[in-house]
Structure 1
Amino acid sequence: MGDSDPYWSAVRATRLQIADLLEELAPAEWEQESLCRGWRVRDVAGHLALVPTITTWDMIAAAPRARFDPHRINTLLARRHGSREPADLIAAIRNHADTRRTAKALDTRNALFDAIVHSQDIALPLGRRFPVAAGHSREGLQRVWEMGWPFHARRRLAGLTLRATDTDWTVGDGPEVAGPALALLMLATGRTAGLDALHGEGLARLTSSSSNR
């Protein structure tokens, strides 16, 4: 991939924007709960700092303590790295903003949506804004819709039409849920924090059955 590759340019820009946000936080904000259940803001930052440098061996080494459960492995490593000093986490995110790798057990096609969603996991509970370009959200949304595990968005949201109102993206069949691509991305990854930005006949079903993950 060349330096002008739009995907990695978006990843880099999002990571640097996250570092800028983290740099603004007061010490107490680092300890607040994020939208990721059981993760503090600092744990989300630890995850984002780790992703570009993590190896499959790092994941294997953590597996026994995490009972070989992928979600537990992710949480264990996020908390471990989130215990570092905020300045170290910010520096790591900045220093690896251009890095285009991750563990072989993971997938670099997830880098963009991972950064976008976790930016909201940090910003929204703190009452802060973290704008994301609609095209970037659309790309992340398409990846989540196609990938299956761990979000199973296509299965969970079966029977609904999802339509982005700020970019060209529509999937599904049934009552419509429409709104910004970023809000749909949050929905597709199991979060309800963006529901107030959505509208349509299908929204009633979501508000009665959805829960944060």
Structure 2
Amino acid sequence: MNADRVWHAIDQQRLGLATLLDGLSDDEWRQPSLCAGWTVREVAAHLTLQQLGPAAVAGMMLRWRGTLERTIADAARRKAATRTTSELVAEIRDAAGDHRHTVGVTRLETLTDALVHGQDIAIPLGRELAMPPEVAAVAATRVLTMRFPPPLPAARKVAGFRLAATDTDWSAGAGPPVRGPMAALLLACTGRPVALSQLTGDGVAKLAAALG
């Protein structure tokens, strides 16, 4: 998938998520997301921090919280606390067409964030947010092959399985077979077991144990 198609997919995810967020109640904004310890509001705030330049990244690092994950979470929570819900929605919507990515990552990490964090919000609220299989396949390939930024812990856990999509031409790995929709496979590759019930194959039980 070339750069233009990747950015188009990111734009579509941002617009779709903005529409979803527009319809949430105050209580839904406070609900837990699929990210442990993060509310829907905090995940939405995190998704407004995808075009950080050198100065903004340096400023975030000055508030170091011991690990990169804690530092990113702190930035998202501070942003969530200083913006109204309508401001967060507007920032996500306005980011569509802004084809920059945060310093230190690539557009493929921006794509993965848009896809996966959109589901982190939608799934626990019982909402649907479309994830095209061919786009999810690009993100999953990046997750499983990236060396920098450091790969996600979940990428190592799924490395011992043969993953194969049933709705697009994609497969990866070697080992006990796991098959299913590409969106469910991407969620597994990023450490989210929520869609394991959609997967089949001899490796599903072992994959569920690996993901905890």
Letter in 2 for 1:61: G
Letter in 2 for 1:182: A
CA distance in 2, matches of 1:93, 1:69: 26
Task: Say whether residues 1:117 and 2:116 are aligned partners.
Answer: yes
**Residues 14-42 of structure 1, C-alpha deviation per residue, up to 9 Å, x if partnerless?**
11000000001011000111011111101
CA distance in 1, matches of 2:177, 2:204: 8
Contact 2:13 2:115 in 1 (8 A): yes
Q: Give the CA deviation at 1:152.
A: 4.2
Q: Give the CA deviation at 1:68.
A: 4.5
Letter in 2 for 1:69: T
Using the TM superposition, name which of 40-49 and 55-64 deviates more. 55-64
Contact 1:178 1:198 in 2 (8 A): yes
After superposition, the Cα gap between the structure-2 partners of 1:174 and 1:150, relative to the gap in structure 1 and judged at 3 Å, is: closer
CA distance in 2, matches of 1:47, 1:35: 14
Which 5+ residue runs of structure 2 have no aligned equivalent? none
After superposition, the Cα gap between the structure-2 partners of 1:116 and 1:138, relative to the gap in structure 1 and judged at 3 Å, is: same
CA distance in 2, matches of 1:67, 1:116: 26
What's the RMSD between the two structures over aligned residues?
1.7
Which 5+ residue runs of structure 1 have no aligned equivalent? none
Letter in 2 for 1:199: T
Q: How many residues align?
A: 208
Q: Give the CA deviation at 1:8.
A: 0.9
Structure 1 partner of 2:171: 170
CA distance in 2, matches of 1:37, 1:60: 26
Contact 1:31 1:40 in 2 (8 A): yes
Q: Give the CA deviation at 1:61.
A: 2.2
Q: Give the CA deviation at 1:150.
A: 3.7
Structure 2 partner of 1:190: 191
Letter in 2 for 1:79: R
Q: SS in structure 2 opposite 1:22?
A: helix
Q: Give the CA deviation at 1:179.
A: 0.5
Contact 1:144 1:153 in 2 (8 A): no
Q: Percent identity between the aligned chains?
A: 40
Q: SS in structure 1 opposite 2:172?
A: strand
